[in-house]
Chain A
Amino acid sequence: MVNFQPTEEQQLIRDTIAGFAQEIIRPAAHEADETGLIPSSLVQQAWELGITQSTIPEAWGGAGEIPSAFTGALICEELAWADLAIALHLLAPRLVIQPVLALGNDTQQQHVLPAYTEPTFTAGTAAVMEPRFGFDVNELATTATRRNEDILLNGAKCYTPLAAEARHLLVYARSESGVAAFLVPRDTPGLVIGEREKNMGMKALATYELTLNDCRLPASAQLNGALSPLLNRSRVALSALAVGVARAAFDYARDYAKERRAFGTAIAQKQAIAFMLADMAIEIDAARLLTWEAAWKIDAGQDTPLEAVSGATREACLAKNYAANMVLKVTDNAVQILGGHGYIRDHPVELWLRNGRGFATFEGLAMV
């Protein structure tokens, strides 16, 4: 039966995250973007809220909460409303935790998961994207080849968050049996973590290029199972993050338009501006509902793997593409509404536009 109301528990989680996002993250966002540094005290505070690691089973020292794509989407939206770079930093460990939870065997879980129940923030990450035109997660250029009992990884990766400090790296590569994920210890010979990347947006998020030259791993480093449901969890996360960024830009532009006066009235009282805001509001809600539907489908157990796709692939992809277009349009409109002031870094809207532009490119940067 159709229902648009999150459970009380989910609302409580959302409110908690929203409060943290508003009071702690947002005030730190501007400086973090300018300096490229996220205060470690902030990261630690977020860690103690348990956002990232709550789904680790009690057997490995966690809280054992059932991973819900929908609850994850609520969290992503609130964090990204405050700041996308900080959100992605805080969520990065999930890039390892979720795949290991979903596909890891007992030994792999025991090897990886306890690190993320430690009292201080533990960085983890995944390397999905590759620095080339026409990047396709289904047809990776990075290869995993068998050499006797071992696996050799070769290729280049980019946009790997927190790679330099990550306890575990999960590297996606093309193997004989299709795309697979491999747990790579940071000190593995042949793995070179490059310089920190310089991007148009998300300057506070430390991302790295990786080079893999005959990076040798034991066969036990491979996670076995279909990756499609994980990719869909990533698409839902990215959609929700895009909704959060767009909502931030909408809120700011709306408030500004009510303050700013021209020709004797607030500019929000002009239809040219008011209609832009109305359209932004519709599109944000539209993208959120598409995201929620994809998340619901995953949580309802309908994301069963077929081959390269699974039961929620259509919904997750439609939501992600829609949200990526929407966030660009909404953040661009927000800059436009602020006019010249929107172009000045004293206002955050230009940052949100720079961040928003990335969503069409992002793949596998976050996971619910």
Chain B
Amino acid sequence: MIDFSLSTDIINARAMVHMVAETDMRPLSREYDEREHEKPMEWLTMMWNASKGLVSIGGDRKEARGERKAAEKQVRMAVIIEELSWGDAGLYLSIPNAGLGGAAVMAAGTQEQKERFLARFRDGAPKWGAMAITEPGCGSDSAAITTTAVRDSDQWVLNGTKIFCTSGLMAVEKSEGFVVVWATVDKTAGRAGIKAFIVDHHTPGMTVAKVENKMGIRASDTAMLVFEDCRIPIENILGSPEVQQSTEGFKGVMATFDATRPIVAASAIGIGRAAVDFLREVLQKEGVTIRYHVPPTKLTTVERDFMEMEANLQAARLLTWRASWMMDQGLQNSLEASMAKAKAGLAVTQVTQKAVELLGPLGYSRKNLVEKWMRDAKINDIFEGTQQINLLIIARRILGYSSKELS
């Protein structure tokens, strides 16, 4: 039966996370936007101890131990991540956990790999997991990657350059984490030759060549990783080493996006909501009320804009909850995940830009966080699949086309 209310369990979790977002994250927000390449280690360690990254930030220990049925896992995660990103999206992205690398190991790894790489997220010092796909010469076209993996007796030898690796610095140099690297074992095989490899922290031959300076989400490090004859054990390949006729392996890794796209959408919505909440407070203080029931001819521009912002944000949220709910139900959600991501990425980009416009000097000034939210928001229309890539995926699904038929 249709229901748009959250369970008590999620409402309680949200309230708890909101408190963290408001009292711990907001005060750090501006500071770590300005001190771009530094991390609030004390807070990050507290978050690590509180969540013990394994099931990532959305789950809890009861779920990890199988004491609670994870019927609402994805919806719960979407709600919690919206809340953390309402606090600060850059800080949220910096929280130590297995991250996208962990998601790939969970999705495609063997039992032995899961134990070897994920167990470490249960205790000890804070750790980060990362994923390296993008290269200087290819982003969305991930089948065109040029990083190579060559087999040499009982090792794989990696060579190439990866960029835009979120938490790459923390995963490979600053903690006992790992990074999942996409490389080709046979360039002539195209997609079928692309495999994912787990590279442990501090592996010789892997260096952090650069940490990027960014428009927003500055608290999160975005690294360039260079691989020069980087040798890893033969068993560190995710899935089968064989180059298959089909592209099932590639699709398997791509399937991680079905889970991560709604999460990016949820994070985007958190940023957009921060801006809308701020705007609402200012309007209230100025005595401007939003008259929802009044016809368009009588509305002020501010009311119209505000209502449009709210509607777009809520539409994005409902699309995100739907994609997450489908995953919880075990339903195929590629289409819905891309819809949520495409809508949320664009909506919050527009919502935060409009907030800066409507707030004028209050919006543009670095005394307030609105301008930062606008800078933070933009990445959501780019990473984890740009707006355009998501439209392409949606179009293929609704038209029943293969990637060859619609490119």
**A contacts, CB < 8 Å to B:** 1-7, 10, 70, 133-138, 228, 231, 254, 257-258, 268-269, 271, 274-275, 277-279, 281-282, 285-287, 289-290, 292-293, 295-297, 300, 308-309, 313-314, 317-319, 321-322, 360, 363
Contact = CB atoms under 8 A, between A and B. Distances in A.
B65 to A, nearest CB: 22
Secondary structure at the B interface, as helix, strand, loop or mixed, is: helix
A197 to B, nearest CB: 20
Contact of A308 (B293, B295, B316): B293
A299 to B, nearest CB: 8
Contacts of A321: 296, 307-308, 311
Contact of B406 (A5, A269, A292, A360): A269
A281 B339 contact: yes
A5 B321 CA distance: 13
A290 B153 CA distance: 58
B295 A275 contact: no
A14 to B, nearest CB: 12
B293 A317 contact: yes
Given A281-B398, A293-B4, A275 B391 contact: yes
20 contacts: A1-B3, A7-B1, A269-B406, A271-B395, A274-B396, A275-B395, A277-B399, A278-B391, A281-B394, A281-B398, A282-B343, A286-B318, A290-B311, A290-B314, A314-B292, A317-B293, A318-B292, A318-B314, A321-B311, A363-B295
Contacts of B2: 3-7, 10, 70, 292, 295-296
B391 A279 contact: yes
B319 A286 contact: yes
B68 interface: no
A278 B395 contact: yes
B42 interface: no
* Residue of B307, B314, B322, B326 with most chain A CB atoms under a 10 A cut-off: B314
Contacts of B296: 321, 360
B339 A285 contact: yes
B339 A2 contact: no
Contacts of B4: 2, 292-293, 296-297
B72 A1 contact: yes
A43 B109 CA distance: 60
Contact of A2 (B6, B295, B307, B398): B6
A274 B399 contact: yes
B293 A313 contact: yes
Given A3-B325, A281-B339, A313 B399 contact: no
B293 A3 contact: no
A136 B298 contact: yes
A361 to B, nearest CB: 10
Nearest to A135: B295
A243 to B, nearest CB: 12
A275 B7 CA distance: 36
Interface in B304-332: 307-308, 310-312, 314-316, 318-319, 321-322, 325-326
- The A contact surface, by secondary structure, is helix
Interface residues of B, number: 44
Q: Counting chain A CB atoms within 10 Å of each CB, which of B298, B315, B343, B388 scores highest?
A: B315
Interface in B154-208: none
**Listed residue (A2, A135, A308, A322) with the most chain B CB atoms within 10 angstroms of its CB:** A2
B392 A2 contact: no
Nearest to A292: B2
Contacts of A6: 1-2
B301 interface: no
Contacts of B326: 4
B397 to A, nearest CB: 9
B294 A277 contact: no
Nearest to A287: B315
Contact of A309 (B6, B72, B292): B292
Nearest to A7: B1
Counting chain A CB atoms within 10 Å of each CB, which of B72, B292, B296, B307 scores highest? B292
Contacts of B294: 136, 138
Contact of B399 (A135, A254, A289): A254
Contacts of B312: 322
Contacts of A228: 293
Given A4-B2, A282-B339, A296-B3, A322 B315 contact: yes
A275 B293 CA distance: 34
B396 to A, nearest CB: 8
A254, A278, A360 pick with most chain B CB within 10 angstroms: A278
B292 A289 contact: no
Given A286-B343, A290-B314, A290-B315, A4 B395 contact: no
A300 B311 CA distance: 21
B297 interface: yes
B34 interface: no
B319 A282 contact: yes
Contact of A138 (B293, B307, B388, B399): B293
A48 B322 CA distance: 35
Contacts of A363: 295
B21 interface: no
Contacts of A282: 319, 339, 342-343, 394
Contacts of B405: 269
Contacts of A289: 315, 318-319, 322
B53 to A, nearest CB: 25
Contacts of A254: 398-399
A70 B1 CA distance: 10
B82 to A, nearest CB: 13
A126 B1 CA distance: 32
Contacts of A286: 315-316, 318-319, 343
A257 B314 CA distance: 31
Contacts of B308: 321
B43 interface: no
Contacts of B343: 282, 286
A13 to B, nearest CB: 13
A271 B392 contact: yes
A309 B3 contact: no
Contacts of A135: 295, 297
Nearest to A9: B1
B307 A318 contact: yes
B75 to A, nearest CB: 5
B325 A4 contact: yes
Nearest to B399: A268
A202 to B, nearest CB: 20
Given A5-B1, A296-B3, A134 B295 contact: yes
Give the residue among A70, A271, A286, A296 with the most B Cβ atoms within 10 A.
A286
Given A1-B72, A278-B394, A278-B398, A136 B295 contact: yes
